[in-house]
Amino acid sequence: MLKVGVVGLGWMGRVHLRNYTEMADVEVVGVVDVDPKACAEVAEQFGVKTFTSLDELLENELDAMSICVPTSLHHETGIKVMDKGINAIIEKPLAATAEEGEDLVKKAKEKGIALMVGHVERFNPAVERVKELIGDDVISIQIERVGPYPPRIQDVGVIKDLGSHDIDLIRYLTGSEFKSVYAVSSSSLGKHEDSALITAEMENGVLANITTNWVTPYKGRRINVACESKYIQANLITQEVKEYSAFSTYDKSYSVREWPLMFREPVKEELTQFLNALRNGTPVPITGEDGLEVLKTFDRIFECAC
pLDDT tens for the 306 residues of the chain, in order: 999 999 999 999 999 999 999 999 999 999 999 999 999 999 999 999 999 899 999 999 999 999 999 999 999 999 999 999 999 999 999 999 999 999 999 999 999 999 999 999 999 999 999 999 999 999 999 999 999 988 776 678 899 999 999 999 999 999 999 999 999 999 887 788 899 999 999 999 999 999 999 999 999 999 999 999 999 999 999 999 999 987 777 777 788 899 888 888 999 999 999 999 999 999 999 999 999 999 999 999 998 865
The amino acid at 156: V
pLDDT at 108: 98
Burial (0-12, 13-18, 19+ Cβ within 10 Å), 43: middle
CA distance 170 to 176: 8
Residues 6+ apart with CB under 8 A from 247: 253, 254
188 exposure class (CB count in 10 Å sphere: 0-12, 13-18, 19+): exposed
For residues 144 and 296, the answer to whether their CB atoms sit within 8 Å is no
Radius of gyration of the chain (CA): 20
Are the CB atoms for 113 and 87 separated by under 8 Å?
yes
DSSP-derived secondary structure for 145-202? EEEE--TT--SS-HIIIIIHHHHHHHHHHHT--EEEEEEEEE-SSSSS--EEEEEEEE
Question: Beta strands of the chain (E only): which ranges?
Answer: 2-7, 26-32, 50-51, 64-67, 87-91, 115-118, 138-148, 178-186, 195-202, 207-213, 215-227, 230-235, 240-245, 256-259
Backbone angles phi, psi at 175, to 5 degrees: 65, 30
Identity of residue 110: E
Q: Structurally, what CATH architecture does the domain formed by 121-264+296-304 represent? A: 2-Layer Sandwich (3.30)
Measured distance CA(177)–CA(301) in Å, rounded? 14
Which pTM value belongs to this model?
A: 0.92
Classify residue 195 as exposed, middle or buried by CB count within 10 Å of its CB (0-12, 13-18, 19+). buried
Domain spanning 2-119+268-285: CATH superfamily:
NAD(P)-binding Rossmann-like Domain (3.40.50.720)
User: Domain residues of the chain, as ranges?
Assistant: 2-119+268-285, 121-264+296-304
Q: Distance between CA atoms of 84 and 112, rounded to whole angstroms?
A: 11
Sheet harboring 115-118: ordered strands across?
A: 50-51, 26-32, 2-7, 64-67, 87-91, 115-118
CA dihedral 79, 81, 87, 92 (to 10 degrees): -60
The conformational region for residue 297 under phi > 0 = left, psi -120 to 50 = alpha, else beta, is: alpha
Measured distance CA(101)–CA(94) in Å, rounded:
6
Instruction: Provide φ and ψ at 212, rounded to 5°.
Output: -140, 140
